Every structure is written in C-alpha cells, then in structure tokens.
Chains A and B, each alone.
Chain A
Amino acid sequence: MSRTMIILLALVAIVFAVSWAAKSASLDDQYDDYISRGFLITLAAFLTLSILSFLYKDNPFYKFAEHLFVGVSAAYWMSLGFWSTIVGNLIPRLSVTLSAFFKVPHIEDEYALYILPDKVSYFIPVVLGILLLMRLSKKAGWISSWPLAFIVGTTAGLNLVRYLRSDFIEQVSSTFVPLLVDWQGTGRFFSDFNLYAYGQFVTMLGNWVIFIGVLCGLVYFFFSKEHKGIFGGASRVGIWVLMITFGASFGYTVMGRISLLVGRLTFLFHDWLELIG
C-alpha cells in the first residue's frame, strides 16, 4: 500500500469518526439509540459516496463498497430464500409440529390438489427442489434437468395464453382504426381543414401513424423473407418507427433515473449533512 493511500485512508477514517460523533450529537435529543443511528447514517453516506466515486475511476473505496454489497446481498438472498420459501410457504402447510418449531402459524390446505391425499401435493415442489440440488453431484447432476424442464415448460405454457392475448390479439384489434374519420367527401375535408388536437385531420393522422407504424414494424420483425424491394422499404420505415419510440422511451426513463439521483442527494444533504430542510 502506497504512502498516499495510507494518508487517504487515515483522512477518511478521521472524517468518518467526526461525522459519526457530530451526527450522534445532533440525534441525541431525538432518539435513545442515537450513537448507533449516527453510525448507520454515516456509514450509509460513506457507502453512497464510495459507489459514486466510481464516476471518477476505480478505487479502493468503490472496491470496498462493491465487495460489501455483493457479499451482504448474496447472503441476504440466501437467507431470504430459506425464510420466505421454506419457512414462510412450505412448513406452515406441511406440518403443525414444524410450524410450532419455527414459530409460524399453521395454514390449512389452501392450495392442496384435492385429487391427491392430504399434504401430498406439497411434497411435489419439495421433491423438485431436491432434484434441482442434484446439480451439486457430478454423478447425479443430469437429474436436475427434469425439474428445470418442468419450470421452463410450465412457465412457457402459463405465459402462452397471456402473451397471445395481450401482445398479439389485443394489439391487432387495436390497430383496426378508421383511416378516414368523419368522412364527408374530399371537398368537405379541405374546407373544414384545421389542426385542432381532436380535429378530423389530427385524428386521421394519428390513425395513419398507428396503421403504418405497426405494419412496418411487423415487416421488420419478419424473418422468413429477405429485406429487399418494397419489403425492404417497409422494414426501413419500421426501424425508423422503432428508433423514434426508443428515443421517446429513453428520455422518459432518464427522467425517472434523475429522480433516483435526487433521492440519494436528498439523503446526503438532508439526512446526513442536514444542509437542506
């Protein structure tokens, strides 16, 4: 470790200690556990700044925050998986004794398959889960493909109808739009021409954009024909429509991300430094 790094670490340690002491002092009249609260807020601020320091370049503080985050979250998810799935879902339905042992209320057979004897249906996921763990064995690893196939197959089957309905049929029927709205002849169209938001021309324009946009978008995603000639032209219009949509979506999402940044800055300047009210 270089001398500069040692000085930097010492400096950060001092700033941390001062911040902890100052924060604890400011929380003294509000909470009994003001020392631990002061520590947690200071630690959160330190970790926030450590992660943000990545914007400058990779550094030991970022590495520390990264490794802490990965380690803690991996352990947290492992623990959460056990307590929410095994203890939270399975055990209360499986056994009164085990429920009492884990201090969770017993649940009667709410999801039981009535064609099977009592509790048997709950052993199906247990067996599938154990088979999945066979992956850890070199000899019996192949068995884990079966529960995996079950998971993929059931998910695909369950989603087929949902996607067919929402992403296909509803989209098609929503594109059955009239291309001439309130049509009373060409002469009337030009004599009454206006650019009102809900006027005839603007409504018709919107319907044409939907019609051509959807059609050309579908052409772009048609893989059985080379994109040449008229098909190629339609496909190019399709990609333009997609890019314009992506542009709008980009701006919209960036605005959402700005609000996340505001949240972090609010924490730093309000909760930690108390510079803003």
Chain B
Amino acid sequence: MRNSRVKVNGLFFVLISVFFYSGLSAEEPLIPNPEDTTKICIPRPPTNVLATDAVYDKGNVVNLNWVPSPDDNGDGKILQYQILRRLENDSVFALIDSVIAGTAFYKDETVESGQTYQYMVVAICDGGSGPSEPSPPVTPDMEWLNFALSNIFVIGLLICGSVIYFIGKAKSGRPLFIRKIAGLEAVDEAIGRATEMGRPILYVPGIQDMDDVQTIAGLTILGRVARVVADYDTKIKVPVSRSLVMTASRETLKAAYMAAGRPDAFNENMAQYITDEQFGYVAAVDGMIIRERPATTFFLGAFFAESLILAETGNSIGAIQIGGTANPAQLPFFVAACDFTLIGEELFAASAYLSGEPRQLGSLKGQDVGKALAMIAIVLGAITTTIGQAWNFEFISAIADLLNSLFRTN
C-alpha cells in the first residue's frame, strides 16, 4: 500500500517537473530550487534494528545493527542514517549521532552501565526521513572477565608456572644448566687488563630508571664486576642518569666490596649522578672516557640514541668494550663498536649466570620453556598450514585453525 502511494507520488512529481521545466529557456540551468517542496522524498525505513550489549567491556558500549533502507542502493538518494536513543522510561528519542548511507552498524560508546536504552535509526534523504521501529531494549553491563583472551591467560599461566617451578628447583639447590655466554668469558679478562694497565673501568648501566628490567640486569652484572674489581684493587666509575639508579649502584658496589672483604676501598663517589637529560649525560660520559681513558668499558642496560656515541668514543681510545642491551634498534651499534655484545636476552641470561641467584636462574629456565613452546608451535603451525592449503586435507586444516585460534590476540 505504502509502495503504491510512493509510486503515485513519484508519477505526480514527474508530471509537475515536466510542467515546470518545459517553461524554461535553453539558457537556464536545470537546477532544482532547494525550497521546492514538491521534491520531498520519503525513504523506506531501515528494519530489524537490533541493539546488543558489547561483550567483554566496562558496560559502556552498545552495538547497533540494522538492515538498510531498500532505497539505500548507492544511487545517492539516502544521504545518511541518524541514530536516535532514549532511556527506556523516556518518551522522546534524542539524536546522538549520524552515519553515512550504506552503513548498517553503529557502536555507541556513550552509554552507562546498568541503564536500559532503546534505539531508532532514521534514513534521511533530501527533505524527507524514514524512521525505523524502536529497537528492543538493551541494558549494557560490565563483564569482569574477558574470556576472549583466555588463550593469553593459558599461555601466560604455562610460562609463569614453569618459571615458578624452576625457581623452586633452583632454590632447592639442584643445579640448573645454562650454556656459556661468549661475552661473559671476557669480563674477567677485561678487568685484568685494566688492572695491568693501571687504568679505571667505566661501567654504564643504561639511561633508564629502576623500573626497567634492563637496568636491573645491568646492576646485577655490576655486582659481579665490582667484586672482581675489588679483588684486583682496580678503579671503577659508574656514571648514571637517574637518581634512583645512583643509590642502587652505590648499594651494589658497597655490597660487592664488602663481599670481597674490601669495605675500606669502597667510595660512594664511584657511582655519580650526571643528569637525566639524555645527551647531556652522553656529553659528560664522552668527556669522562676521553679524559680518564678507561681500559675497559661496560655498556650494559637500556640504551637509545646514545649507544653509538658512547661505544664509538670508547672504541676511539682503544678500550676493551662489552656492550649489551635488549633494545633491538641499538644492538647494531654495539655489535659494530664493541668487542663483545650481549644480544637481547643474553643480557638477562648473563645477569642470571653471573649472580647464580635462584629467582633469576629459574626465570631464565622458565622462559626457555616458553621458547620451546614457541618453536614447537611454529613448526606445527607452518606444516599444518602448508599441508592444509596445498593439499586441502580438512583434518590438517582443522589443526591449523586450532593453532591459529590458540595464538590469536584479538
């Protein structure tokens, strides 16, 4: 009935238009007058408007879906859809947003958890509108657990469980094997060289604060280095760029000197605060390297753009250099300018290896379980994906899909 009325109206408009346009001269443009009320269109409304509470959120999102108006077929007749919303007890719908024609989805992120809402979608064309029926009421709610990320939980549990297991094993006194790390073999040799030459050792534990695990690893290695330094009675300088790192360095040095039975040789000024400013710190350390000409330099911690400047200055005075960081972008510079480089996780492994501390050893072994898991998954994933795609074996494809779902993050 409604469709036939639209057709009749359309025919009427065509006749009216022909009547008016026939009176125009050839020079006049065929542009309709915006105030021409006879051109009003009334679009058919969107249907099946459905509002659903978004899952695994704080209860502040409602997803709205609808079937677009039959008149929304890309010919430009429908200009946009207006999204209207009301609280369940309100009588009037209020406009909250609008989306372009061709859209059938809207995400309302302005709702409050626990309130009940109803939505209406209005198709808008030039001068007319077609409102949908109100959606069924929806009450957004907060979910306490995000089960979509349960795979991350399981994998995390597996790795953390391994770490805890190996920490327990290390604490019980059972030996845990860790392979030799090339850079560490050179530590004693480098300290010995500084002793023979009568020159100091420069130790830079990165430029980050104590909340960075690389700084902690750097300070752990400092403890081992300082102990040998104390034994050999060599000078060590630890310039730092954070106040907390300075106090932690001083404590590490003090503990190392006490462990070596040389508390008298400890001096607080071995660890000096320079400045938090990255390149101010670099300028000062560079000056220190050139003036004091250390025989050995250690750059172990978190480094950024200063890595090459420091390592190259150390290289220019012929110092033995041992660098190490977990920042991948800075590793090439240490590899190029240092004699030995602890690459990425080797820094943490070195820290565990040198300290022999059960928690660090257990953590390293637990992470190895994670790597083994990753290697197995990668081999299985690549093989099943290959066989599934190349020969269309459904069972193999199902295994590939399972692995993909286990390692998905969204």
Could you list which residues of chain A lie within 8 angstroms of chain B, going by C-beta atoms? Answer: 51, 54, 57-58, 62-63, 65-66, 69-70, 72-74, 76-77, 132, 135, 144, 148, 151-152, 155-156, 160-161, 164-166, 168-173, 175-181, 183, 211, 214-215, 218-219, 221-227, 242-243, 246-247, 249-250, 253, 257
Contacts and interface: CB of A to CB of B under 8 A. Distances in A.
Given A69-B277, A176-B403, A227-B179, A58 B291 contact: yes
11 contacts: A66-B284, A70-B280, A169-B408, A170-B407, A172-B377, A176-B385, A176-B403, A215-B378, A246-B335, A249-B331, A249-B332
Most B CB contacts (10 A, CB to CB) among A63, A72, A165, A175 go to: A175
Contacts of A253: 329, 332-333
Given A222-B368, A250-B332, A74 B179 contact: no
Given A169-B407, A172-B377, A176-B382, A223 B364 contact: yes
Given A69-B284, A249-B329, 9 more contacts: A57-B290, A70-B277, A70-B280, A72-B280, A172-B378, A221-B345, A222-B371, A243-B335, A249-B331
Contacts of B151: 169
Interface string B366-410: 001011101101110111011001110000000010011001110
A180 B400 CA distance: 15
B310 to A, nearest CB: 13
A249 to B, nearest CB: 5
Contacts, number: 170
B280 A177 contact: no
Given A69-B277, A148-B244, A180 B381 contact: no
Contacts of A170: 407, 409
B155 A178 contact: no
Interface of B: 151-152, 155-156, 159, 177-179, 181, 210-213, 216, 244, 247-248, 273-277, 279-281, 283-284, 286-287, 290-291, 308, 328-329, 331-333, 335-336, 343-346, 349, 364-365, 368, 370-372, 374-375, 377-379, 381-383, 385-386, 389-391, 400, 403-404, 407-409
A176 B378 CA distance: 6
Contacts of A76: 277
A253 B307 CA distance: 12
Given A66-B284, A223-B178, A176 B407 contact: yes
A175 B287 contact: no
B333 A152 contact: no
Contacts of B383: 179
B375 A215 contact: yes
A70 B211 contact: no
Contacts of B400: 176
A63 B211 CA distance: 32
Contact of B378 (A152, A165, A175): A175
A219 B346 CA distance: 13
B191 to A, nearest CB: 24
B210 A148 contact: yes
Contact of A173 (B248, B281, B283, B404): B404
B280 A74 contact: yes
Contact of A144 (B152, B247, B277): B247
Contacts of A177: 382, 385
Contacts of A72: 280
Contact of B277 (A63, A74, A160, A250): A74
Contact of B381 (A66, A176, A247): A176
Nearest to B274: A70
A11 B368 CA distance: 63
B179 A73 contact: no
A168 B279 contact: no
A249 B156 contact: no
Contacts of B382: 175-179, 211
Contact of A224 (B210, B343, B365): B365
Contact of A165 (B152, B159, B276): B152
Contacts of B279: 69
Contacts of B248: 148
A227 B34 CA distance: 80
Nearest to A151: B211
Most B CB contacts (10 A, CB to CB) among A70, A160, A178, A223 go to: A223
Contacts of B216: 152
B152 A221 contact: no
Most A CB contacts (10 A, CB to CB) among B277, B365, B386 go to: B386
Contacts of A155: 211-212
Contact of B370 (A168, A179, A215, A242): A168
A73 to B, nearest CB: 3
A180 to B, nearest CB: 4
Nearest to A225: B179
Contacts of A165: 152, 409
Nearest to A132: B244
A40 B410 CA distance: 53
B292 to A, nearest CB: 11
A224 B179 CA distance: 6
Nearest to A221: B345
Contacts of B404: 173, 176
Nearest to A231: B179
Given A148-B210, A165-B152, A211-B378, A70 B371 contact: no
B375 A70 contact: no
B275 A73 contact: yes
Contacts of A69: 275, 277, 279-280, 283-284
B287 A223 contact: no
B329 A173 contact: no
Given A70-B284, A246-B331, A180 B390 contact: yes
B96 to A, nearest CB: 24
Given A69-B280, A253-B329, A253-B332, A58 B374 contact: no
A183 B390 CA distance: 5
Contact of B179 (A57, A169, A218, A223): A223
Most A CB contacts (10 A, CB to CB) among B291, B308, B364, B409 go to: B409
Contacts of B177: 224-225
Given A165-B409, A178-B385, A77 B277 contact: yes
A181 B389 CA distance: 8
